[in-house]
Amino acid sequence: MKAVWWWWICIAVAAQVSMATAGEGNVTYDGRSLIINGQRKLLFSGSIHYPRSTPEMWPSLIDKAKEGGVDVIQTYVFWNVHEPQPGQYDFSGRYDLVKFIKEIQAQGLYACLRIGPFIESEWNYGGLPFWLHDVPGIVYRTDNEPFKMYMQNFTTKIVNMMKSEGLYASQGGPIILSQIENEYQNVEAAFHEEGAAYVKWAAKMAVNLGTGVPWIMCKQTDAPDPVINTCNGMRCGETFGGPNSPNKPSLWTEDWTSFYQVYGAEPYIRSAEDIAFHVALFIAKNGSYINYYMYHGGTNFGRTSSAYVITGYYDQAPLDEYGLLRQPKWGHLKELHAVIKNCSTPLLQGVQSNFSIGPLQQAYVFEEGRGACAAFLVNNDSRGNVTVQFRDNSFELLPK
């Protein structure tokens, strides 16, 4: 893959200032970002799945993510391992979700809990318990009463468990976001009007659980208010149509750091530069939350993977299957995070503008009233280097 580079400038950055009157521990949002404890936040997140590693690994994985400039750990919740039989639950060992979330909290990071409970995730049966298959009259993931009953029961079980441990940010815990369903728009049209009804039901059901933090739906342009629709993919700065309301922020829940591998296939190698370029582009276009999927892929133990997926999951992530740093990906993204965070004041509070600086070149500029400025300069020409002028300075930009 051809290397891709991004040039940026950060000038006269001022201190972060509170942007809202949200109460202590409260998480809200506006059209620019999530707002935590009254402050707008620009957040980098990394997916680490607790069943794909061991409890002994969790502290090291989270610590390395933190050192790499990650603010949030994101994980799915795996219904079929937690409820192997109806009403019988397992949260032991690798499935100890509470312990995992508490380790995130102990290291001073936030958490994003993607409950689903359908998760896909290249996981056996997409995370759905196989016993659902035997429920009379059930149709999965649509406006079907048997499915909705079991889905609501499990979602409520997880939310109440998190509440009982005080793990939502509204209780002083680390969980700042929850997700209901998962990439449902991929199949919604097949269910016709029942698909749209199911989306509305799922959103209302989740919000009514009263977590005190926002809910998201990924790849769901019709996510009902107040649920935030988010982007998944490799190039959301180019592909995301944006929030479905001007009052919602632009969030990227899956920035694919490589791709899952199936038996007999070659590993997909995505360069550190390509990842960094598209992260910067997403932020330049008002993005304020980027999650790397995966930051640590880990291992599909036993028969937990979906068909043809190998035991090593996203081994080309910033942390490889065994939790070791994969360079230059880990270090390159760490440097990117540091630069972006140094510019957080104008990025979150500044007046935005963008304009052409050449036939295929663009500048995205954020200026804050006290003189702080951040500018992203992009060369969309893949044929070669170009020299551009910006504020009486010349910059040579590599392709892309």
SS3 353: strand
What single-letter DSSP state applies at residue 188?
A: H
Q: Are 385 and 399 in contact (CB under 8 A)?
A: yes
For 317-369, write each residue's pLDDT tens digit: 999 999 999 999 999 999 999 999 999 999 999 999 999 999 999 999 999 98
Among 165, 183, 194, 335, the active-site one is: 183
**Cα three-residue angle 188-314-218, rounded to 5 degrees:** 25
pLDDT of amino acid 245: 97
Is the pTM higher than 0.85? The answer reads yes
Q: Are 311 and 300 in contact (CB under 8 A)?
A: yes
d(CA 106, CA 287): 28
d(CA 314, CA 247): 34
Alpha-carbon torsion angle 62, 64, 67, 70, nearest 10: -50
CB atoms within 10 A of CB 219: 20
CATH class of 20-348: alpha beta
Phi-psi category of residue 138: left, alpha or beta, with phi > 0 → left and psi -120 to 50 → alpha:
beta
Among 83, 181, 254, 321, the active-site one is: 254
Is 254 among the catalytic positions?
yes
Return the amino acid letter for 222. Answer: D
**Token digits of residue 131:** 């016993």
> What are the boundaries of each domain within the chain?
20-348
pLDDT of amino acid 12: 36
Return the amino acid letter for 2. Answer: K
For 216-247, write each residue's pLDDT tens digit: 999 999 999 999 999 999 999 999 999 999 99
Q: Are 358 and 397 in contact (CB under 8 A)?
A: no
Is 183 among the catalytic positions?
yes
For 251-286, write each residue's pLDDT tens digit: 999 999 999 999 999 999 999 999 999 999 999 999
d(CA 166, CA 182): 25
